[in-house]
Structure 1
Amino acid sequence: MIEAIGLTKRYGSKVAVQDLSFTAEPGHVTGFLGPNGAGKSTTMRMMLGLDAPTSGDVRIDGKRYAELKHPLHTVGALLEAKWVHPNRSARSHLRWMARANGISNKRVDEVLGQVGLSEVAGKKAGGFSLGMSQRLGIATALLGDPQVLLFDEPVNGLDPEGIHWIRRFMQGLAAEGRTVLVSSHLLSEMAQTAEELVVIGRGKLLAQCSTRELVEGAGRGEVLVRTPDTAKLEELVRGEGFGVRSDSDGGLVVEGTETARIGELAAENRIVLHELTQQRGSLEDAFMQMTGDDVEYQTSLGGSAELTGQGVAR
C-alpha cells in the first residue's frame, strides 16, 4: 500500500506539490493522472526518496522508503527507461542490480523471460529501442519480486502489441495482490488498464475514485436518435425544452435527457426509431472537464496545447 500524507514540495517560490494526500491499495492498478507539470513525477520521486518533501510524508507498506531494509524487495520502480549504462548488456545490468540486493542470477533470467528480453539479454542496452528499454526497466522493477510497483509512462515507445502486453501484465500483477501505481498520459489506455484513479492538477488532489465513477460523472446527458421522421421528432423534443442538433450522418443529438424519455416521446407520437443510444462520456472527457483550468499552456482556441488523439501528451 502507498500512502501520501499532506505531501508538499517547494522549489524556491514554486510549489510543485501542495498538501497532497491519497492512497493506492493492494490488488488494484491505480492510474496517476494530471496535466503536464501537475507534479506527478515529483510525487513519485518523493515516494522513492529521490526528492525530499518540504513537508508531509509518504509511506510504502507503512514505512518511509529510507526505512526499508531491502528496498528492491518491497518496492520496484520504473521512472526513466534510459538510465542504464549503454555499454552494459541487459543481463549484466540486472545481475549487477541483483548482486547489490542479494538476489540470485536465477531471478535475473526469470524476469528477462517475463518481459520478453531473453533473446536479446546479451546485447548492449545502448542499442535498445525505447520500447526495449522500457521492458528492461520493468524487469529491473520486478527483480526483487516486490509487492509495490511504480511505473512512470511505462508504455512510451511500445508498439500496439507491447501496449497490450503491459496492460495485461500490470493487471496480472494487481491480481496477485500487489499495489500498482502507474502514471500515463495515454488516457484511452488508462481507461482500459486502471480500476482506480488519482487525478492531480497544479500539485493538488482533484479526485480519487474508481475509473467508472469518474467517467460516469462526465456523462454528457446526450441521446443519439435516428428516425425517418427527423423533422417531426426534432419539433417534439424542442417542444419539451431539450436542445437538439444534427449529427454528420443525419441523426439527431438530443441534449439534457435520457433514452427512456426520447423513446416514450416517440412511442406516444407513433414515430419509428432506427437507433436510440445514450451518449456516454470518456475518460478523456472527464479528465478535460476536471483539469481544464490546471494545464500549464493553453492554445489560442482555449484548449490544452498538450492534447493528442489518444489523450494528453507529455
Structure 2
Amino acid sequence: MIEAVGLRKHYGRTKAVDDLSFTVRPGRVTGFLGPNGAGKSTTMRMILGLDTPTGGDVKIDGRHYADFKEPLRKVGALLDAKWVHPNRSARAHLKWLAVSNRIPVSRVDEVLEVVGLSEVAGKNAGGFSLGMAQRLGIAGALLGDPEVLLFDEPVNGLDPEGILWIRQFLHRLADEGRTVFVSSHLLSEMAQTAQELVVIGKGQLIAQTSTEQFIADATQDHVRVRSPQAVRLRELLAASATVTEDPAGNALVVQGLPADRIGELAAEHGIVLHELSPQRGSLEEAFMQLTRESVEYQAH
C-alpha cells in the first residue's frame, strides 16, 4: 500500500504538489491522472525518495522507500525508459540491478522472457527503440518480484500488441494482490486498465474513486437516435426529456429517457427508427469536465 498524507513539494514560489493525500491499495490497478504540470511525476519521485517533500509524508507499507535495504525486492518502478547506460546490454543492465539488491542472477533471464526481450538480451540498450526500452524498464521493475509497482507512462512507444500485453499484465499483477500505481495521459487506455483513479490538478487532489464512479459523477448517459421523422420525434420526446442534435451526425441526443422507453414512444406514434443507441460517458469526457480549471497549459 502507498499512503500520502499532506504531501507538499515547492520549488521557490511554485507549488508542484500542494497538500496532497491519497491511498493506493493492493489488489487493483490504480490510475494516476492529471493535466500536464499537475505534479504527477514529482509525486512519484517523492514516493521513491528521489525528491524530498517540502512537507507532509509518503510511505510504502508504513515505511519510507529509503528504509528498505533491498528496495527492488519491495518496490519496482519505471519512471524513465531511457534511464539505462547506452553501451550496456539489456542483460548486463539487469544483472547489475540484481546484484545490487541480492537478487539471484537467474531472475534476469526470467524477466527478459516475460517482457519479450530474450532475443535481444545481448544487444546494447542504446540501440533500442522506445518500445523496447519500455519493455526493458518494465523488466527492471519486475526484477525483485516486488509487492508494489509504479509505472509512469508504461505504454509509450509500444505497438498495439504491446499495449494489450501491458494492460493484461498489469491486471494480472493486481490480481496477485500487488499494489499497482500507473500514471498515463492515454485516457482511452486508462479507461480499460485502471479500476481505481487518483486524479490531481495543480498539485491538489481532485478525486479518488473507482473509474466507473468517476465517469458517472462527471458525465451523463444519453441515447443517440436517428429517424427519417426526426422533427416529429423531437417534439414528442421534448415533453419528458432533453433533446439536442448530435453535431457529429444526423441524429438526436436524448437525455432523461432510457432507450427502451424512447423505442416504445416511437412505436406508439408510428415513428420509424434507424438507430437507437444508448451512450455512456467516457473517461476522457469526465477528465476534461473535472480538470478544466486545473489545466496549466492551454492551446488557443
Matches of 1:97 and 1:234, distance apart in 2: 65
CA–CA separation in structure 2 for the residues paired with 1:97 and 1:121: 15
Return the alpha-carbon distance in structure 2 between the equivalents of residues 192 and 241 of structure 1.
Answer: 31
Give the C-alpha shift of residue 276 in structure 1: 2.2
| Corresponding position: 1:79 with 2:79 | yes
Question: Which residue matches 1:191?
Answer: 191
Offset of 1:192 from its aligned partner? 0.7
Q: Does the CA-based 8 Å contact 2:241-2:257 persist in structure 1?
A: no
Q: Distance in 1 between matches of 2:60 and 2:241?
A: 53
1:13 aligns with 2:13: yes
Give TM-score, length-normalised by structure 2: 0.95
Counterpart contact for 1:237–1:244, Cα < 8 Å? no
SS of the equivalent of 2:7 reads strand
C-alpha deviations, 1:28-52, integer Å up to 9, x for none?
A: 1100000000000000000000001
* Residues 234, 243 of structure 2: 8 Å contact kept: no
> Counterpart of 1:285?
285
**Cross-structure match for 2:3:** 3
Match of 1:48 in 2: 48
Q: Any idea what SS the aligned residue of 2:112 has?
A: helix
Provide the secondary structure at the position in 2 that maps to 1:209: strand
Q: Which moved more, 1:272-281 or 1:144-153?
A: 272-281
In 2, Cα distance between equivalents of 1:132 and 1:246: 42
Q: Go from structure 1 to structure 2 and tell me whether the alpha carbon gap of 1:240 and 1:144 turns closer, same or farther (over 3 Å shift).
A: closer
Q: Secondary structure at the match of 1:69?
A: coil
State the partner residue of 2:200: 200
Distance between the aligned counterparts of 1:291 and 1:258, measured in 2?
29
SS of structure 1 residue aligned to 2:169: helix
Q: Quick one: which amino acid aligns to residue 161 of structure 2?
A: E
The alignment of Structure 1 onto Structure 2 pairs a total of residues equal to 300
Alpha-carbon deviations, 1:93-152, whole Å to 9, x = none? 111111111111111111111111111010011111111111111111111110000000
Contact 1:221/1:257 (CA < 8 Å) preserved in 2? no
> Which residues of structure 1 form unaligned runs of 5+?
301-314
Q: Which amino acid in 1 is paired with 2:253?
A: V
How far off is 1:217 after superposition? 2.2
Q: Which one is further off, 135-144 or 262-271?
A: 262-271
Output the CA distance in 2 between the equivalents of 1:160 and 1:281: 24
Percent identical? 68
**Correspondences of 1:82-93 after superposition (within 5 Å):** 82-93=82-93
Give the 3 Å change call, closer, same or farther, for CA 129–225 of structure 1 in structure 2.
Answer: same
Identify the residue that residue 117 of structure 1 maps to in structure 2: 117
RMSD: 1.6
Out of 253-262 and 105-114, give the one that drifted further: 253-262
Alignment-mate amino acid for residue 36 of structure 1: N
Local SS of the residue matching 2:8? strand
Spell out the pairing of 1:212-227 with structure 2 (5 A cutoff). Answer: 212-227=212-227
Deviation, structure 1 residue 224: 1.1
Secondary structure (helix, strand or coil) at the match of 2:236 reads helix
1:97 aligns with 2:102: no
Superposition pairs of residues 86-165 of structure 1, within 5 angstroms: 86-165=86-165
> 2:221, 2:19 → 1: CA distance?
34
What is the rounded CA distance, in whole Å, between the counterparts of 1:241 and 1:175 in structure 2?
A: 42
Given residue 183 of structure 1, which amino acid in structure 2 is its aligned partner?
A: S
Alignment TM-score, normalising by the size of structure 1? 0.91
- Equivalent residue number for residue 236 of structure 1: 236
Task: State the alpha-carbon separation in 2 of the partners of residues 63 and 240 from structure 1.
Answer: 56
Unaligned runs of at least 5 residues, structure 2: none
Q: Give per-residue Cα distances to partners, 1:237-266, cap 9 Å, x unaligned.
A: 234463322555433222454335533532
